[in-house]
């Protein structure tokens, strides 16, 4: 299985980095081919410019910096997102990556006139999300978990019909302890052993 790990955190020593490392380790030990995409390390530009937006409905973006990202999406059979939840959703860098990379003629084709969008991502059969969140579980649910819905409803809808998903979150991250973080890493490893 070919897994793309999309990692988004600006701090190299963050707990998200520990999650990323554990995820890559477990998937590699399982014999998966893993490619890591570290959006901050590569200084990905999440800003969609005027011309790119004007042409968005007509063709894939022409920015040559996006070509390797398109190739990674086309290569992947599984996508694992690792990021912190900020203001209940995705970091701006990750949202910008979705905006610019999951684009027309890359992730989907728009219909001529009325009709349904046609997916170009049916080769992706698994999507996972591992995140950290400062809020408690109950408040995240009250707010509606927009990050979870974006990835596991919106983006997953472009993947294979029977695409399997999972979501893991370390809530109350701001009050976490070495014990809570170690326990969560254990959950990450166990989940990825079955992913």
For residue range 95-126, what is the model confidence (pLDDT) as tens digits? 999 999 999 999 999 988 888 899 999 999 99
With pLDDT > 70 as the criterion, what percentage of the chain qualifies?
100
Query: Does residue 130 surpass a pLDDT of 90?
Result: yes
Global pTM reads: 0.95
Main-chain phi, psi angles of 87, to 5 degrees: 50, 40
Query: pLDDT tens across 131-189, in order?
Result: 999 988 889 888 889 999 999 999 999 999 999 999 999 999 999 999 999 999 999 99
In the chain, the largest separation of any two C-alpha atoms, in whole Å, equals 55
Cα 94 from Cα 87, distance rounded (Å): 13
Closest CA to 25 of 168, 192, 181, 180: 192
Angle at 46 between CA 35 and CA 6, to 5 degrees: 20
| pLDDT for 105 | 95
pLDDT mean across residues, the chain: 95
Cα 124 from Cα 162, distance rounded (Å): 10
């Amino acid at each position: 299985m070919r897994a793309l790990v999309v990692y988004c955190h600006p701090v190299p020593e963050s707990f998200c980095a520990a999650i990323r490392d554990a995820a890559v380790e477990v998937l590699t030990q399982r014999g998966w081919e893993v490619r890591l995409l570290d959006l901050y390390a590569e200084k990905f530009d999440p800003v969609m410019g005027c011309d790119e937006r004007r042409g968005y409905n007509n063709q894939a973006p022409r920015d040559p910096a996006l070509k390797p990202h398109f190739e990674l999406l086309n290569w992947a059979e599984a996508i694992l997102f690792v990021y912190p939840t900020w203001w209940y959703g995705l970091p701006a860098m990750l949202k910008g990556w979705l905006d610019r990379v999951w684009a027309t003629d890359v992730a989907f084709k728009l219909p001529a006139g009325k009709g349904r969008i046609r997916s170009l991502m049916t080769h992706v059969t698994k999507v996972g999300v591992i995140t950290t969140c400062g809020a408690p579980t109950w408040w995240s649910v009250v707010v509606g978990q927009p990050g979870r819905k974006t990835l596991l409803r919106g983006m997953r809808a472009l993947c294979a019909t029977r695409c399997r998903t999972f979501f893991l979150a370390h809530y109350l991250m701001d009050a976490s302890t070495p014990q809570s973080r170690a326990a969560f890493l254990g959950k990450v490893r166990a989940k990825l052993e079955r992913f």
